[in-house]
Amino acid sequence: MTDQKLDGKILFFSDIDETLVNTDKSLGEENRLAIHEFLSRGNLFVISTGRALSGARNLLVDVGLYGLENLWISSSNGAIVYDTFHAQELLRHCVPLELMIEAFDLARAFGIHIQTYTDTSVVSETDNASLRRYLAIQNLPLELYPNIRDAKIAPPPKLLCLDFDHPENITRFRKHFEQQMKGRMDCFQSNPWLLEIVLPGVNKGSSLRFISQKTGIPIQNTVSAGDAENDLPMILAAGIGCAMQNADDALKAQADYVTMNDNNHGGISEILHRFCL
């Protein structure tokens, strides 16, 4: 890693929660100004998130970033890439319906909540407190079906298990899921109470490499920033991988740079000014 400013067009990948936005989901003014300056120089800023595309879009609208030129979204942990300025989808990886049904069957038998997505809604077999909390955070509607086999939906980009009250159940189910679905689906945690489930090889790092190749921006001119396990692939893939001060220790150990400031105090602005502006 170099301590010098990058030269030429830059691709910046930023996680959302506990990275780009404050803990209350607002966007700090330092970060806002730095992002606008970065974009004004013709660079590409990608919101890289585990959130579904609709959830990411809702948050970006709320903080005033949605639709800016050269601002893209990599959602569902890299399964979808979307250009917000041109309203154009550039990549989509989908979980086959038969694998989705098998995953739902595993979670149901284990007693863990599982859900999936349409382009606009969360899809679930059950309604519970953890789900309601999630829907409020993401500002998404719910479609309920007694059995996922009854849902007439397209193959989704990802599945999600959650338990806000007992995250240890997520850890236990993860081990079970990995044993049962090894080689057919990947899973990782974006925080202790959320288990993200995608196709093998789909992650934030694969999305970064795809966008680098599509835009012609070399890997050495890519920067990424995150705080959790699901950010590790893009931390490793980027030319400069950055961990937030509030990041997991395991992520900090793998990062090229650890910010002095956390997500509530302009950590993204710090990275942009150190390497890009």
Instruction: Give the H/E segment covering residue 178.
Output: helix 167-180
- Mean pLDDT within 182-193: 94
Q: What is the pLDDT of residue 266?
A: 98
State how far the Cα of 169 lies from the Cα of 163, in Å rounded to an integer: 7
The helix/strand/coil state of 189 is: strand
pLDDT at 240 over 90: yes
CA distance 96 to 108: 19
pLDDT for res 2? 55
CATH class of 97-198: alpha beta
SS3 of 94-120: CCCHHHHHHHHHHHHHHCCEEEEECCC
Across 192-204, average pLDDT: 96
- Same fold: 11-93+202-275 with 97-198: no
**What pLDDT shows up at residue 97?**
98
What's the pLDDT tens digit per position in 63-106?
Answer: 999 999 999 999 999 999 999 999 999 999 999 999 999 999 99
Can you list the positions of beta strands (E) in 156-231?
159-162, 186-191, 194-198, 222-226
* 213 confidence band (pLDDT: 50, 70, 90): very high
Task: Find the length of the chain.
Answer: 277
CATH topology of domain 11-93+202-275: Rossmann fold (3.40.50)
Q: What type of residue sits at position 61? A: V
Q: Which residue has the higher pLDDT, 191 or 44?
A: 44
b vs e for 47-76, b when ≥16 Cβ sit within 10 Å of the residue's Cβ? Answer: bbbbbbbbbbbebbeebebbeeebbbbbbb
| pLDDT tens-digit readout, 141-184 | 999 999 999 999 999 999 999 999 999 999 999 999 999 999 99
- Binned at pLDDT 50, 70 and 90, residue 190 comes out as confident
CB 209 within 8 A of CB 82: no
What burial letters (b/e) apply to 146-167, b meaning 16+ CB within 10 Å?
A: eebeebebeebbbbbbbbbeeb
| pLDDT value for 4 | 81
Question: Residue ranges of the domains in the chain?
Answer: 11-93+202-275, 97-198
pLDDT at position 1 is: 53
Instruction: Give the dihedral sign, CA 194/80/31/8.
Output: positive
CA distance 248 to 190: 11
Report which of 45, 153, 47, 148 is spatially closest to residue 102, judged by C-alpha positions.
Answer: 148
